[in-house]
Amino acid sequence: MPSNETETHCGLSPQTLVASILPPVLIIELLLGLPGNLMALWVFCRHLQSWKPNVVFLFNLTLADFLLLVSLPFRINNLLHKEHWLFGDAWCRINLFMLAANRSASIAFMTAVAVNRYFKVVHLHHTVNFISSRQATGIACFIWAVVISLRLPLLTNDLLIKEPNASFCRSFNPYKDPKLGIKLHYIVYISEFFFSLMVLLFCSLRICWTLHRSQTTNMPVMRRAIRIILVIVGIFMICFCPGVVTGLTALYLKTLGKEYCEAFKLNGQLFVLSLGFTYLNSVLDPMIYGFCSSMFRDALKHSINQLGVVKLALRSRATG
């Protein structure tokens, strides 16, 4: 196992600031995200009559959120025990893999939804607009295959660092010389953000330009498209930008040497706190479902109305 002083930059220590702030934040996110995504899954599986490509991507975004919601209680437990990991090496790897896969898949499917909307508005007659739901499912499977393959280093590398009084389960340990797989993990973490950000900004600008130039009578549809893109970009920046900024800052501080160890450790805690924003995507993603799919909105209203009718019938029986 790595030694605290010889193989890590500036040593390892419990992150007291993180342990005091992040657990209640994650508990709130879990309590808010779970009902929203359970309702979304219920609507997708029971009330949607047809599955257009856009719906396929939104459904897979919901599945990505469930990777997070299943994994989050273990991170909460870890923080409540002052980062002492109680579940062993194997589950440490699986847990970090599922958290990272959620981030990558969420970014990928948010980008897919934005690109789909871009073609619907900017290139009305492009063949992309006429793909079948089966083809969209194939694209979704390909995205999952890429996500899993890029995150495999988290399953194949030992991520549990055992100290005399604690075991730390972190995917971003401050190694002096990380293994190749861990370096790949860092590269994917940074590059997937900037690649998707460029795609989202391009789609936003092109849709805005098309809306500005358009003289068609279908302006409400065009304006709704730009609102959808802006919602996606807003959620994307809120959830994923803080982690990238603090991660890049950590890499820079590391190059300055041990004279900046205190700043490096403080930034490390800010980085972990920023993950609270990353996990927030499971709470905010249902907003994307409502904005992006009129079928989802109609199905949600239908399911709520059905629930109201059932409650009214039960109440009538009880009083009758």
Find all residues with CB under 8 Å of 2, minimum gap 6, and list them: 8, 161, 173, 175
The mean per-residue pLDDT over the stretch 116-127 comes to 85
The residue written with tokens 């280093």 in the block is: 153
Among residues 138, 244, 232, which one has the least CA distance to residue 191? 244
pLDDT tens digits for range 71-83: 899 989 988 888 8
More confident residue, 242 or 49: 242
The residue written with tokens 């972190």 in the block is: 170
Arithmetic mean of pLDDT over the chain: 82
The pLDDT score that the predictor gives to residue 195 is 95
φ, ψ at 162 (rounded to 5°)? -100, 120
φ, ψ at 216 (rounded to 5°)? -80, 170
CATH superfamily of 16-302: Rhodopsin 7-helix transmembrane proteins (1.20.1070.10)
pTM for the full predicted model: 0.84
The residue written with tokens 């990928």 in the block is: 108
The mean per-residue pLDDT over the stretch 189-207 comes to 92
Q: Do 62 and 44 form a contact (C-beta atoms < 8 A)?
A: yes
Find all residues with CB under 8 Å of 278, minimum gap 6, and list them: 103, 239, 240, 242, 243
Please determine, for residue 4, whether its predicted confidence score (pLDDT) is greater than 90.
Answer: no
The pLDDT score that the predictor gives to residue 227 is 80
User: What is the rounded CA–CA span in Å between residue 217 and residue 228?
Assistant: 19
In single-letter form, the type of residue at position 112 comes to A
The pLDDT score that the predictor gives to residue 45 is 77
The pLDDT score that the predictor gives to residue 244 is 94
Please determine, for residue 211, whether its predicted confidence score (pLDDT) is greater than 80.
Answer: no
- State whether residue 8 is helix, strand or coil: strand
Q: What is the 3-state secondary structure (H, E, C) of 105-168?
A: HHHHHHHHHHHHHHHHHHCCCCHHHHCCHHHHHHHHHHHHHHHHHHHCHHHHCCCEEECCCCEE
Residue burial 206-229, b: 16+ Cβ < 10 Å; e: rest: ebbebbeeeeeeeeeebeebbebb
**Band (60; pLDDT cuts 50, 70, 90):** very high
- State whether residue 9 is helix, strand or coil: coil
